[in-house]
Amino acid sequence: MGLSLNDLCVRFATPSGEVLAVNHATVSFRQEEATGIIGETGSGKSVLGLSILGLLPAAAVSGRIFLDKRELTALGEREMCQIRGREIALVAQNPGTSLNPSLRAGRQIEEVFRLTGAGRREARARTLALLERMGFSRPEETARRYPFELSGGMRQRVLTAIAAAAQPRWIIADEPTKGLDAVVREQVYDTLRLSRREGRWGLLVITHDLLLARKLCDRIVVMYCGRVVETGPAPALFAAPRHPYTQGLIASLPHLGMKPMPGFSPAFTDQPSGCVFHPRCPYAEERCRREAPELTAAGEGSVCCHRCA
Amino acid sequence: MLEVENLSKTFRSGLAGRPCRAVDGVSLTVGPGQTYGLMGESGCGKSTLGRLITRLLPADGGKVRFDGVDLLTIRGRALKPYRRRMQILFQHPDTALNPRMTVLDSLREPFLIHPLAERGERDDIIREHIKHYGIQPELLERRASQVSGGQIQRVALARIMLLRPEFIVLDEPTSMLDVSVQAQIMELLGAVQAETGVSYLLISHDLDLLRRASGYMGIMHRGKLIEQGAAEALFEDPRQPYTQKLIRSFDRMKEL
Amino acid sequence: MKKALFYAALAVLAVFITAGIFAEVLAPCDPNAVDLANPLAAPSSAHWLGTDHLGRDLLSRLIYGSRSSVFLAFFATGCTLMAGSLIGLVSGWAGGWLDQLLQGVVNLFQGIPSTAFVAAVLGLLGPGIRSLLIAVAASSWAGFSRVVRNQVLAVRELHYIEGARALGAGSFSILCRHVLPNIMLPLLVLAAARVGSTVLTVAAMSFLGLGLRAPAADWGIMISDAKLYYIKDLKVLLAPAACLTLFCLSIHLIADELRDRLDGEGDGAHML
């Protein structure tokens, strides 16, 4: 049971030619776990999230996405609408603009309950109960507020409550801590952690925030240049990263030394031969320049590197 | 080098708007070749402080002494020589450079304002200069919109350094960048400081970054500088409850 | 489809402009040559579109008319653009009391119905090209200056403007190097749309006898002349009215397409 991607590719046409934003990604996520997809700008992690929700033009996506035994990539738009929100919900990136500014917070959560068939009274009661479980000490007051009257952290919690209201089987959180201060970031962490207690859904956190991923998630998927380069259980992956890119990424965290990796992420239109990471890799050999490595099992996870195979 | 004394700024929204004290009696000193780390959450007035010091905003009161001269009393053209000696690097790479100009044009701008070199030598100076900042020569012909955020910050820094300033306000220079790019830019900033002896006022909301990059630190909260001291001492023994709360918050995210 | 319309509109505009520039070469007859023996004649090989009530060649009058209408419209819009931009730039960049004062004046001007205002100014200055230019510019600079001011306010806080100030650049050089190039495109879109309405204003004023004077060949005057005769012969009204409509329509199509293209670049053109 879970969500699995089989040889997923997402192609975009750009003025300088076709690019592969997601490059043959094969990976699966277990519903009983929280998975963090980490990567930097241009790693394809957000595009991966959008493709699971079927929010990209069908022509751009190839490969297959399965939700349990159903193939999402074979469904039509109407069927996908049934899945979005009800089975896979999204907590969008920007809580400032993802809430309707002219509706009270409570109303926006109630709407989800109404959509699933609850009456007005019942929706109201369930909204207040949900808000309380999401850590609002005075749910009535929060429900009456408009989004602009809420702080950034509170908005993020309301947004998460909206996603959770439909009791989906999966919640995808896209960059939940982008641009947030430390205290609010911690609140977001608490919210997501609480949300896991709220339901049995699988959590997919797409983030560049390594510390959030490490603290919140059970498994980590590392992406670089549209490719999955390493997967593994969070503690092991952070304690002993296998892929040189993961190692470099962790070493560049400020409290772990802030040691820079050499070079830059290549442009999608100008990808190096062989292993995409070889120009920046301290261990690169002749084979890495020639031959692209495959994602192969390693320990409790997998890694895409000739050295580790 | 730079002494800020009791600097204040109040914003008023509209004619009848409630006044908001963005910077409230801040005093701090940055020594030569030193990095002063200024920590604060969004809306605390830290960016306003950076703009007051660099005279991008007029201050309401206080003093900014640079080499013993109070900058706030200097007006008009007399300020220009000080502008050269004191610079600011901004947060958002997407608006740091004029999007309609090429990188080369942006780098030429300091020469148009200050008498730094003869006309004929300028492009050669630029081409030689950018090598030290990890900027590929082919970048020069591109427009700002075609350059990645990390590269833009390199160009912006290289441009500032053409002036050979003695003091730079770094206003969250890496907060919009990925961690690996952040590490590269911070290393570059460190190398530039080691070579030229420039002083930094490093503004950030990331305590870990400041702890690693600055010798002396201040914590800003609601317009006031509530605590300052040597960085390690401040982490070891924070006096203010707000500082303690911040440090705890960062520590908790690092725990498992 | 939209692309095709855009190119068609460009072609139409090109035809009008060429007709205006080369009126002497292109017009088959003298636009003011009266032939009283031959009024309201049907189209023939001598007069491709026939003649008007004084027997003047309709096609030639249309061609000369596009000279006065189109060129007056472009020129008047140019004057408006310059006056409005200058005031908007000063207002947005200076800020403070000067901004408040100028915006007060702008509000005043925007509150006056523009057609009535143009008519009043023309009444005061007397008819003629110079009066028309002044009247059109005076009636529509305010809208331009407001757009320019808002654009200036939007870019003045951007880092590259602050950065140029920190480098020590003066206001004039920042306005020329950084502000104007970055607000120019949305402004041009607005100006393009404005050319269309200026043609209408000029025609309306000529129609009312306040703009250009008969016998000048001008679409507004032609429509005005036609009001006594269109029952007998519809083409004398239809021909200049069609030119006017076609011209305005193509201007708006072009402005629309330009705006779409600029929107893609993330400029503030959507505020028009």
Nearest residue in B to C173, CA atom: B113
Q: What is the ipTM of this complex?
A: 0.89
| Neighbors of chain A with 3 or more C-beta pairs under 8 Å | B
Q: What is the mean pLDDT of chain B?
A: 92
Q: Domains, chain B, ranges and CATH?
A: 2-98+166-255 (3.40.50.300)
| B113 interface with C at CB cutoff 8 Å | yes
Is A264's CB within 8 Å of B148's CB?
yes
Q: Residue type at C210?
A: L
Q: Is the pLDDT of residue A297 over 90?
A: yes
Q: Is the pLDDT of residue A309 over 80?
A: no
pLDDT of residue C271: 33
CB-CB contact of B110 with B162 (8 Å): yes
Q: At what angle do helices A120-133 and A105-115 cross, to 10 degrees?
A: 120
Residues of A in contact with B175 (CB under 8 A): 179
Q: Please, which pLDDT band fits residue B40 given cuts at 50, 70 and 90?
A: very high
Average pLDDT of span A120-146: 90
Residues of A in contact with B206 (CB under 8 A): 182, 254
Q: Which long-range contacts (CB under 8 A, 24 or more apart) does A106-113 make?
A: A106/A131, A106/A142, A106/A143, A106/A144, A107/A143, A108/A158, A108/A162, A109/A143, A109/A158, A109/A161, A109/A162, A109/A165, A112/A85, A112/A162, A112/A165, A112/A166, A113/A165
- Name the minimum distance, in Å, from the CA of A41 to any CA of chain B: 7
Nearest residue in C to B105, CA atom: C177
Is A185's CB within 8 Å of B149's CB?
no
Q: Domains, chain C, ranges and CATH?
A: 2-29+49-271 (1.10.3720.10)
CB-CB contact of C141 with C80 (8 Å): yes
Two structure tokens written together for C129: 């090209």
Two structure tokens written together for B142: 């591109």
Interface of C with B (CB under 8 A): 158-160, 162-169, 173, 177-178, 181-182
pLDDT of residue C53: 81
| B77 interface with A at CB cutoff 8 Å | no
Nearest residue in C to B79, CA atom: C168
Q: Is the pLDDT of residue A231 over 90?
A: yes
pLDDT of residue C225: 85
Average pLDDT of span A72-84: 90
| CA dihedral (B99, B100, B101, B106) positive or negative | negative
Q: Does residue A139 have a cis peptide bond before it, meaning omega lies within 30 degrees of 0? A: no
- Name the minimum distance, in Å, from the CA of A45 to any CA of chain B: 14
Q: Which fold has domain A2-102+146-308?
A: Rossmann fold (3.40.50)
Report which of B113, B171, B85, B166 is spatially closest to residue C168, judged by C-alpha positions.
B113
Which of the pair, B16 or A300, is modelled with greater confidence?
A300
Rounded-to-10 torsion of CA B142, B148, B150, B152:
30
Is A252's CB within 8 Å of B207's CB?
no
The H or E element spanning position B79 is none
Domain extent listing, chain A: 2-102+146-308
Q: Is the pLDDT of residue B237 over 90?
A: yes
Beta bridge partners of A220: A36, A232
Average pLDDT of span B196-218: 95
CA distance A186 to A165: 22
Q: Name the strands in the sheet holding A2-14, side by side, starting at the edge strand that comes first in the sequence.
A: A17-30, A2-14, A61-67, A70-71
pLDDT of residue B13: 67
Q: Is the pLDDT of residue B256 over 80?
A: no
Mutate to test the interface with A, among B47, B91, B179 (most CBs of A within 10 A): B179
Cα maximum dimension of chain C: 77
CA distance C19 to C25: 9
Residuewise pLDDT in 10s, chain C (272 residues): 778 889 999 999 999 999 988 888 888 888 888 888 888 888 888 787 888 888 888 899 999 988 888 888 888 999 999 999 999 999 999 988 999 999 999 999 989 888 888 999 998 998 888 888 899 889 889 989 999 999 999 998 899 999 999 999 999 999 999 999 888 888 888 888 888 888 888 888 888 888 887 777 888 888 888 888 888 888 888 999 999 899 989 988 988 888 777 665 543 333 33
Residues of B in contact with A186 (CB under 8 A): 249, 252-253
Q: Please, which pLDDT band fits residue B16 given cuts at 50, 70 and 90?
A: low
| B110 interface with C at CB cutoff 8 Å | yes
CA distance C108 to C114: 12
- Name the minimum distance, in Å, from the CA of B183 to any CA of chain C: 22
Is B99's CB within 8 Å of C182's CB?
yes
The H or E element spanning position C131 is helix C129-156
| B253 interface with A at CB cutoff 8 Å | yes
Average pLDDT of span B32-49: 93
CA distance B174 to B181: 8
Report which of A91, A300, A109 is spatially closest to residue A205, judged by C-alpha positions.
A91
Please tell me the least confidently modeled range out of A69-83, B177-191, C10-24, C210-224: C210-224
Nearest residue in A to B181, CA atom: A260
pLDDT of residue C268: 34
Residues of B in contact with A264 (CB under 8 A): 148, 150-151
pLDDT of residue C264: 52
Q: Name the strands in the sheet holding B35-39, side by side, starting at the edge strand that comes first in the sequence.
A: B86-89, B167-171, B199-204, B35-39, B216-221, B224-230
Tens of pLDDT along B116-148? 888 889 999 999 999 999 999 999 999 988 899
Residues of B in contact with C169 (CB under 8 A): 109, 112-113
Tens of pLDDT along A154-213? 888 888 888 888 889 999 999 888 878 888 888 888 888 888 877 778 999 999 999 999
pLDDT of residue B211: 94
Two structure tokens written together for C139: 């009636």
Average pLDDT of span A23-42: 92
Q: Is the pLDDT of residue A23 over 50?
A: yes
Q: Which residues of A87-113 are buried (b: 16+ CB within 10 A; e: fewer)?
A: bbbbbbbebeebbeeeebbbbbbbbbb
Two structure tokens written together for A229: 């380069």
Question: Do chain C and A touch: 3 or more Cβ pairs under 8 angstroms?
Answer: no
Which of B206, B211, B253 lies closest to A215 in CB terms?
B253
Q: What is the mean pLDDT of chain A?
A: 90
Residues of A in contact with B148 (CB under 8 A): 41, 264-265
Is A186's CB within 8 Å of B186's CB?
no
Residues of B in contact with A179 (CB under 8 A): 175
Which of B88, B100, B112 lies closest to C166 in CB terms?
B88
Report which of C62, C36, C40, C58 is spatially closest to residue C49, judged by C-alpha positions.
C58
Q: Is the pLDDT of residue A230 over 50?
A: yes
| B208 interface with A at CB cutoff 8 Å | yes
Q: Is the pLDDT of residue B48 over 90?
A: yes
DSSP annotation string for chain A: -EEEEEEEEEEEEETTEEEEEEEEEEEEEETTSEEEEE--TTSSHHHHHHHHTT-S-GGGEEEEEEETTEEGGGS-HHHHHHHBTTTEEEE-S-HHHHS-TTS-HHHHHHHHHHHTT--HHHHHHHHHHHHHHTT-S-HHHHHHS-GGGS-HHHHHHHHHHHHHHT--SEEEEESTTTT--HHHHHHHHHHHHHHHHH---EEEEEES-HHHHHHH-SEEEEEETTEEEEEEEHHHHHHS--SHHHHHHHHTSGGGT-PPPSS-PPPTTSPPSSSTTGGG-TT--HHHHH-PPP-EEETTEEE--TTT-
Mutate to test the interface with B, among A208, A212, A252 (most CBs of B within 10 A): A252
Residues of A in contact with B211 (CB under 8 A): 254-255
Which of A41, A182, A258 lies closest to B246 in CB terms?
A182
CA distance C88 to A119: 55
Interface of A with B (CB under 8 A): 40-41, 179, 181-183, 185-186, 189, 208, 210-212, 214-215, 235, 248-249, 251-255, 258-261, 264-265
